[in-house]
Amino acid sequence: MTGPQEGLDVTSTTRPDGAAPAGEPSYPGEVAPSGTDRAPGDGAVAPHPGRTTGPDAAPTANPARPGEGPLLVALDIDGTILSHDDVLSDGVVEAVAAVRAAGHHVMLSSGRSLIAVLPVAERLGLAEGYMVCSNGSVTARFDDASPTGYVVDEVITFNPEGALRLLRDELPDALFAVEDVGVGFRMNDLFPHGELDGVHRVVDFEELWSGEVTRVVVRSPGSTSEEFSELARSLGLSDVTYAVGWSAWMDIAPLGVTKASALERVRGLLGVAPGATVAVGDGSNDIDMLRWAGRGVAMGHADPEVKEAADEVTGSIDEAGAVAVLRSLV
């Protein structure tokens, strides 16, 4: 099911000036990496203490609960449905199947590249609908008529030269990579085995900005995530969207592009009501998605900033927190 995108219909939007799309918010800046705080045990889903509940809470058109019509359910992958040991439990697979059987749309929404999302979709039995990849820069749709089993529905690109030059000056020993959609990555040196999927091609640093790209990955093994975050702030990367991960890892995307912006487009294409949306995630790159959703659920091990963006907090990945959320939808 994997393969290059050659010969496929692709809608490409280039943002060389860093402008956010009309009518969409911009989300420049990073948020803190994931932590280890835990939610209530036994897979329970608890309202977040920072959210208003009860009779004084503002009503919503659709709280994304069972019986409210077809829902759009967006699932982060790593740390949400897939453990850090790359384990996808039978419970997750069965719960996803049950939600789909109930007539709801289930899709993956990940920072992973398209070729890294596809194998997870296959393991889940997903073969229709959409996938949001590369933190919103790439949206793909399953298509049985395509030789690859999918078509790339939208690609949003930007000019990474400015960000790359700034970061190289401050991090001369860092690893840098840019995504070639459906193929792999070009990089200034090889990343540790297993961190990036697809074909890896080592090129001169200047070749990383030889064309518009969907995503830049920066890895600085000698830095802590806190140092990485402070560096990103001090450099004033205001013309891109970026997020720092739980290691010294940074993803850079076009300004205004997040999982949320891509999911909003998919929601419109599917005709799902704005409130009939559910999102589950654990990382800093999930914050906008959790805020966007009618029902945003943070994993129990997520950092406090991630939990604060959510309507609820479920159990951790070890407590099958995502399974509890999915079961509540059927």
* 284 close to 32: Cβ distance less than 8 angstroms: yes
Which residues of the chain, if any, have pLDDT below 50? Answer: 1-45, 47-62
Per-residue 3-state assignment (H helix, E strand, C coil) for 290-316? HHHCCEEEECCCCCHHHHHHCCEECCC
> Cβ contacts of residue 110 below 8 Å, gap of 6+?
76, 77, 78, 116, 117, 120, 131, 132, 133, 135, 259
Q: Which long-range contacts (CB under 8 A, 24 or more apart) does 199-205 make?
A: 205/164, 205/168, 205/176
* Strand ordering across the sheet containing 150-157: 12-14, 150-157, 138-142, 130-133, 105-109, 72-75, 277-281, 295-298, 312-313, 46-47
CB neighbourhood size of 314 (10 A): 29
- With tokens 């076009």, the residue in question is 254
Domain check: are 222 and 270 in the same one?
no
Domain presence at residue 191: yes
* Domain limits for position 247: 161-254
Cα–Cα dist 121/143, whole Å: 13
Domain presence at residue 4: no
- Give how many domains the chain has, as a whole number: 2
Crossing angle for the helix pair 161-170 and 225-235, to the nearest 10 degrees: 120
* 158 close to 15: Cβ distance less than 8 angstroms: yes
Domain check: are 303 and 239 in the same one?
no
* Strand ordering across the sheet containing 175-180: 199-202, 184-187, 175-180, 216-219, 249-254, 240-244
For residue 241, list its beta bridge partners.
253
pLDDT of residue 12: 42
Domain check: are 27 and 109 in the same one?
yes
Handedness of CA 258, 264, 270, 274 (dihedral sign): positive
* 26 close to 242: Cβ distance less than 8 angstroms: no
Domain presence at residue 179: yes
* 313 close to 300: Cβ distance less than 8 angstroms: yes
pLDDT of residue 245: 65
* 139 close to 154: Cβ distance less than 8 angstroms: yes
Domain check: are 176 and 250 in the same one?
yes
Domain check: are 32 and 90 in the same one?
yes
For 268, list phi and psi in degrees, rounded to 5: -65, -40
Domain presence at residue 18: yes
Domain check: are 265 and 240 in the same one?
no
Domain check: are 236 and 267 in the same one?
no
pLDDT of residue 222: 73
Domain presence at residue 222: yes
> Cβ contacts of residue 68 below 8 Å, gap of 6+?
62, 275, 276
Domain check: are 137 and 23 in the same one?
yes
**CATH number reported for the structural domain that contains residue 98 in this entry:** 3.40.50.1000
pLDDT of residue 243: 67
Last residue of a domain, one of 213, 228, 254: 254
Cα–Cα dist 215/240, whole Å: 10
- With tokens 């835990």, the residue in question is 38
Last residue of a domain, one of 219, 237, 254: 254
Cα–Cα dist 26/14, whole Å: 16
**CATH number reported for the structural domain that contains residue 217 in this entry:** 3.30.1240.10
Chain segment 191-209, per-residue pLDDT in tens: 988 889 999 999 999 999 9
pTM of the model: 0.79
Domain presence at residue 6: no
Domain check: are 177 and 275 in the same one?
no
